[in-house]
Amino acid sequence: MTHLDTLPLWAAIPAAAFLVLGSSLALIGSFGLLRLRTFYERIHAPTLGSSWGTAGIVLASIIVFSVTQSRPVLHELLIAGFVTVTTPVTLMLLGRAALYRDR
């Protein structure tokens, strides 16, 4: 028997919704990477998809582990913070490198 067997329905439904939403946004960002043609278009879609997708998955994780461990579990917010900080910085550095290369 695992802790997920004891997860109440009122917590399982929003956690599943956030998980599906986050993974869908990450998948849409990946499709944008494949579908868009130029480099400058390609760096935009995965950045948004990974940021918003990570946020949805982190919210699902917070709900599940806070309910199963009977205490607030907030260290997943560190993951969201690191992704929120590093993704735009990476986008900016890649964009500047491509702009420098194109000149």
What pLDDT digit, counting tens, does each position of 66-75 carry?
Answer: 998 888 888 8
8 has a pLDDT exceeding 80: yes
pLDDT digits (tens, 9 = 90+) for 79-88: 889 988 888 8
d(CA 60, CA 24): 13
Q: Report yes or no: 83 and 54 within 8 Å, Cβ to Cβ.
A: yes
Q: Report yes or no: 49 and 42 within 8 Å, Cβ to Cβ.
A: no
Q: Model's pTM, two decimal places?
A: 0.82
Q: What is the mean pLDDT of residues 29-48?
A: 84
Q: Report yes or no: 53 and 25 within 8 Å, Cβ to Cβ.
A: yes
d(CA 69, CA 85): 29
SS3 track for 75-102: CHHHHHHHHHHHHHHHHHHHHHHHHHHH
Axis-axis angle for helices 76-102, 44-68 (nearest 10) = 170
